[in-house]
Amino acid sequence: MVSKKIEMAQWRTRLDDLRQDFSFVAQEAASEDEILPFESEVEDLKKELERLRDRVQNFGVVNLAAIEEFQGIDERYQFLNQQTSDLQKALDSLRSIINEINTTSRELFQNAFCQIRQDFQQIFSRLFNGGQAELHLEEGVDCLEAGVHIVAQPPGKRLQRIDLLSGGEKALTALALILAVYQLKPSPFCILDEVDAPLDETNVDRFLNLIQEMKEKTQFIVITHCKRTMLRVDSIYGITMEKAGISKVVSVKMDQVQRLYKTDVPRNKEYLEAVQ
């Protein structure tokens, strides 16, 4: 019993010492006009603790495999990101190539267009025995996408668009443009299908004179029903049907006819008029 009383007396002594120390600190702080916000801080900490506790409760069930899943998704993301980067580089390269092709195409087109326009003017004057014609690109549009305007002026007429010309004049103008385009890069042979059908006799002769000059470099195959054209060719090929349902090709070479009759095949104007 004595030992317990001694132990209690010791604890009371220590408690009195702590009270005295606390009283001294409180008096010193009060003397310096300092107020310790112990109570407010405790309230703030309680509120923060409650907020954090609510957040933890709202997390729900914790996915223990989240780290492994994240690593897999991250690897997939890195792979797709690399693929995207490669595709972007390829796209940039294609755009650069397209721009280079368009630049070269514009240059080639401008050179070809200038040459075709010059040849078109010359051939038009030959076929119409005068007059003038012009090709214009649509203004304000890329030359690779622009339309082409054809302006023609036959002898004795004012300058006008091709859609205002007569049928024969349109055909002759179109024929001049076709031959101008053909002269840019001629091929070993050229096929013309009924191009002389809408032309009158004078224009047919001018057309055939031009073909006679051009045949030195190109072999022309002309599909026609015009007698004037047939009389100016080197060979004639036709289809006949001697028996019903059976077609037969008939050919005539004009040089053989000349040797057979030992004379030139008459091709002058008087003969043509007599044939017609």
CB 177 within 8 A of CB 120: yes
Structure confidence at residue 35 (pLDDT) = 45
User: Does 156 lie in the same domain as 210?
Assistant: no
What is the residue type of 32?
A: E
- Report how far residue 179's alpha carbon sits from residue 220's, in angstroms, rounded to the nearest whole number: 12
User: Does 259 lie in the same domain as 209?
Assistant: yes
User: Does 238 lie in the same domain as 173?
Assistant: no
- Rg (alpha carbons) of the chain, rounded to whole number: 51
Give the domain CATH number at 179. 3.40.50.300
- Report how far residue 97's alpha carbon sits from residue 258's, in angstroms, rounded to the nearest whole number: 60
Structure confidence at residue 274 (pLDDT) = 43
What is the residue type of 139?
A: E
Task: Please tell me whether the overall predicted TM-score, pTM, comes out greater than 0.75 for this model.
Answer: no
Structure confidence at residue 93 (pLDDT) = 94
Mark the ranges of the chain whose per-residue pLDDT is less than 50: 2, 21-22, 24-26, 28-37, 268-276
Residue 22 falls inside a structural domain:
no
Structure confidence at residue 34 (pLDDT) = 46
CA-nearest of 187, 116, 180 to 172 is: 180
Residue 54 falls inside a structural domain:
no
End-to-end CA gap in the chain? 161
User: Does 174 lie in the same domain as 93?
Assistant: yes
Q: What is the DSSP string of 151-182?
A: EEE-TTS--EEGGGS-HHHHHHHHHHHHHHHH
Residue 141 falls inside a structural domain:
yes
Residue 134 falls inside a structural domain:
yes
Residue 101 falls inside a structural domain:
yes
Structure confidence at residue 80 (pLDDT) = 92
pLDDT digits (tens, 9 = 90+) for 45-77: 777 777 777 776 776 676 777 788 888 888 899
Structure confidence at residue 187 (pLDDT) = 84
Structure confidence at residue 262 (pLDDT) = 54
Residue 165 falls inside a structural domain:
yes
The last residue of one of the domains, among 150, 165, 185, is 185
Residue 223 falls inside a structural domain:
yes
- The packing angle between helices 201-214 and 66-128, to 10°, is 120
The last residue of one of the domains, among 162, 185, 208, is 185
User: Does 165 lie in the same domain as 142?
Assistant: yes
How many structural domains comprise the chain? 2
Structure confidence at residue 38 (pLDDT) = 52
Structure confidence at residue 203 (pLDDT) = 84
The tokens for 103 are 């630049």
Residue 128 falls inside a structural domain:
yes
Structure confidence at residue 86 (pLDDT) = 93
Boundaries of domain holding 247: 189-276
User: Does 105 lie in the same domain as 93?
Assistant: yes
The last residue of one of the domains, among 154, 185, 216, is 185
